[in-house]
Structure 1
Amino acid sequence: MIGTVQLGLLAACVVVLVPMGLAGWHLSRNKMLFFGGALFISLAVAVHLFPYFPSLSSFIPDASSFSSSSVVILKNRDSCLPLLHEIEWNEENYGYNRSVLSWGWGRSDGSVIACDFQKLRKYDARDLLNGSWVMVAGDSQARLFVLSLLNVMLGEEEMESVRRHLFKRHSNYQAVVDGVEMKLDFIWAPYVTNLIDLIVDLSNNKSCPDVLVMGTGLWHMLHITNSTDYGMSLQRLHRSLMSFLMPVSLEFGAGPDLVSVSARPRAHLFWLGMPMLINSMLNTEEKREKMTNETQDAYNDSLHGSKLLHQSQGPFLLLDIHALSKNCGVHCTEDGMHYSEIVYEAAVQITLNALLIESQQKL
């Protein structure tokens, strides 16, 4: 069957050759007139061919991408993903020793401006996650992430109920956001082995969430304190996840009408990194002894060496809580481990903007 491009080329040949042949035959004695006719026909052909080669439009800059300081032309919005953490923190003073911390995407970099990141409000977030199944698995950092995610989706009265039930010690949590039918599951999983078990359960049940956020390591650092073992556990998680994400065979019909196809779970995967630990503020002697700066660095190296993250061609986009908490600063934490809601709010907004990019949507 002849495709659209082939038909376009065939039509172009007819448009070019027939008029050019006739023009050349009748106007051979007047080279200037022949040249003018050829130029006119060439322009007409270009107009006909342009719709069949949409890639040509990438060479034409969009006026909206120009600024007074720089010109940025984004060929692919995927190039915006590495810029999601380009966040600036600001402290606004209101007198009487009162100050409020705020954040926003850096405006000094033209490429960040061109990406047009936005803080999604309630209705935009609900529209984006409408009908989705979101699963978050991990330790207390993951629980704080869930709190911030629901804070975007729900009203203040609903959030009071969420806080009472979400923070039951070492427990799972489930919710359905009314009006958009977004299903949310929080799975208490303080060790990587818990995450592996979760992947096995999802695989056995042949189910896959639309958005999967995972992250753990603090408990391992405190109770096992072995970065090599942590790295090996992450590698086992990587293998389990790759097996889970591989195509599965599905069969339809019966007898000679049996049809076999392959299906791949379509999940958006995010890894919730560990925060910057401030050793002097940790609330027990055991934590101060085991959760040192050197141990933190070793655990972060194990994560980056596990090939779980996008930077190493892995499946997870990193939500860099370490960078966010470090830039927010000491005044954003009371115990050197758990940070104020604004840090996790930033992580949630990074997640939502990443989902917009990966799903090729725009508000």
Structure 2
Amino acid sequence: MIMIMLGAVLLGVAAACLVVLVPMGMAGWRLSRNVLFFSGAIFITMAVCVHLTPSFSSVSDYVTSVSSVAIIDRRSPCLDLVSRISWEVTPNASLINFNVTQNLSSSFDYYEKHWDWPKTQKVKACRIRKLSKHDASRRLNASWVVIAGDSQARLFTLSLLNLILGSDPQRMDSIRTALFKRHSNYSISVNEIGMKLDFVWAPYVSNLTHLMIDFKAKKSYPCVLVMGAGLWHMLHVNNASDYESVLRTLKGSVVSLFPFSTELAFKSPHLFWLGLPVLINGMLNTHDKRQQMSDAVWHDYDRSLTGSRLLRQTGGPLDLLDIPSLTWNCGAHCTYDGMHYDIAIYEAAVQLMLNFIIISRQRH
């Protein structure tokens, strides 16, 4: 190993001398000796460093990590339009005379939810649209999809599978039962399109960081990764500064795991962050939740997400699936407990993800 390193040094010096000394000789004595010596020293030093760097893994890793921190993101203008959807929430005509005290699964069953993108020329030009089962299956064909997080991520998983497999109600009933086993992981292979999907129960951001470490150890990476956590931290830790800190740690793990540059983006997975839903404090179903998860705390946590620079909008690696905007615009009629929202919210989030993927692929 020492001989190899010595050889690299000698080779670097020889190359530097060839590059520097020959032009110096040709230049003759038209330049001062001091200028010649200074220029030669700089070039020789740079050449030696370039040849030595690959021989020291720690130096190489450091250079790689530093160059990866500043993520170049020449965002398509179309990406900024994807999250701008509007909602129409109206009373369900078939239930208008139904007694509210009778056996409905939740109060939001009384309202129909419809959403879409505004019919503007910009949206049409970007070809942003609701994708069908066929379109979604084609985009995720032969993909490994990992969705990790808390109950929001579980609902997102259900919505994605419902889009792809919803034509088979019996199969979806079986999936729903298995997926919603308390605090458990879930895996499924959709053989029709060669897609593998893993849901990973990860209620804390630290769980997500450990997942990144596991990917790196196994050298196995998903094609699509959707993550989101924060509600448990808000309830049980209730410290926005700590939340920002763990998000920064997660960002570091993600950045070290995947290559981020415009040249390499086509090789990188599609990475998404599920934002925190808007919390309606008066509807939360326990005293602890109402006390710990106030509007002020929610805004503190939202600012912590921005401060962590985890999202692409702030120079990070993950695109935001804007659950805060979706839940705010849908409103109180779209939730039964002030925290968990109607499946329509997550169906919309799935469509956001798919449109992000399409637009990102069109750029390369």
- What TM-score do the two structures reach when normalised by structure 2? 0.71
SS in 2 for 1:130: coil
Deviations 1:225-255 (A, max 9, x none): 00000000000111111111149xxxxxxxx
1:102 and 2:114 matched = yes
Displacement, 1:343?
Answer: 0.3
8 Å CA contact retained: 2:89, 2:330 = no
Sequence identity percentage = 51
Secondary structure, counterpart of 1:271 in structure 2 = strand
1:146 aligns with 2:146: no
Larger radius of gyration: 1
1:115 aligns with 2:129: no
SS at match of 2:203: coil
What does 1:266-345 correspond to in 2, within 5 Å?
Answer: 266-345=268-347
Q: Partner amino acid for 2:112? A: V
Amino acid at match of 1:349: Q
CA contact (8 A) 1:246 1:264 kept: no
Contact 1:270 1:317 in 2 (8 A): yes
Match of 1:237 in 2: 250
Aligned-residue offset at 1:100? 2.1
Alpha-carbon distance in structure 1 between the residues aligned to 2:265 and 2:354: 26
User: 1:157 and 2:187 equivalent?
Assistant: no
Is the CA contact (8 Å cut-off) linking 1:77 and 1:357 kept in structure 2? no
Shift of residue 178, structure 1, vs aligned partner: 2.2
Superposition pairs for residues 346-357 of structure 1, below 5 Å?
346-357=348-359
> Hey, what's the Cα distance between the residues in 2 that align with 1:158 and 1:95?
30
Any residues of structure 2 matched to 1:247-262 within 5 Å, and which?
Answer: none
**Which residue identity does 1:81 align to in structure 2?**
L
* Distance in 1 (alpha carbons) for counterparts of 2:296 and 2:252: 28
Say if 2:218 is the partner of 1:205. yes
Higher helix share: 2
The question of whether the paired residues in 1 share the 8 Å contact of 2:266 and 2:361 is answered with no
Residue 92 of structure 2 corresponds to residue 90 of structure 1: no
Equivalent in the alignment of 1:175: 188
Structure 1 gaps, min length 5: 1-75, 248-261
Flag the structure with higher strand content. Answer: 1
User: 2:220 aligned with 1:220, yes or no?
Assistant: no
Q: Which deviations, in whole Å up to 9, do the C-alpha atoms of 1:42-73 show, x marking residues without a partner?
A: xxxxxxxxxxxxxxxxxxxxxxxxxxxxxxxx
What SS does the corresponding residue of 1:305 show, helix, strand or coil?
A: helix
Distance in 1 (CA, whole Å) between partners of 2:91 and 2:232 is 37
8 Å Cα contact 1:279/1:288 also seen in 2: yes
3-state SS in 1 of match to 2:173: helix
In the TM superposition, residue 77 of structure 1 has moved relative to its aligned partner by 8.4
For the 8 Å contact 2:281–2:338, the answer to whether it is kept is yes
- The correspondence for 2:147, drawn from 112, 136, 139, is 136
Contact 1:245–1:265 at 8 Å: present in 2 too?
Answer: no
Residues 94 and 355 of structure 1, relative CA distance in 2, 3 Å threshold = same
Matched residue of 1:359: which SS?
Answer: helix
Q: Which stretches in structure 2 are left out of the alignment for 5+ residues?
A: 1-73, 97-110
CA apart distance, 1:119: 1.1
Report the equivalent of 2:70.
none
CA distance, structure 2, for counterparts of residue 238 and residue 96 of structure 1: 47
1:138–1:214 contact (8 Å) kept in structure 2: yes
Per-residue deviation, 1:95: 3.6
Letter in 1 for 2:182: R
CA distance in 2, matches of 1:221, 1:275: 12
The number of residues matched between the two structures is 272
Measured against aligned partners, the alpha-carbon deviations of 1:132-163 in whole angstroms (never above 9, x if no partner) come to 00000000000000000000000222111111
Give the partner amino acid of 2:89.
Answer: E
For the aligned residue pairs, the C-alpha RMSD in angstroms reads 2.1
Q: How far did residue 265 of structure 1 move?
A: 5.8
C-alpha deviation, 1:310, in angstroms: 1.1
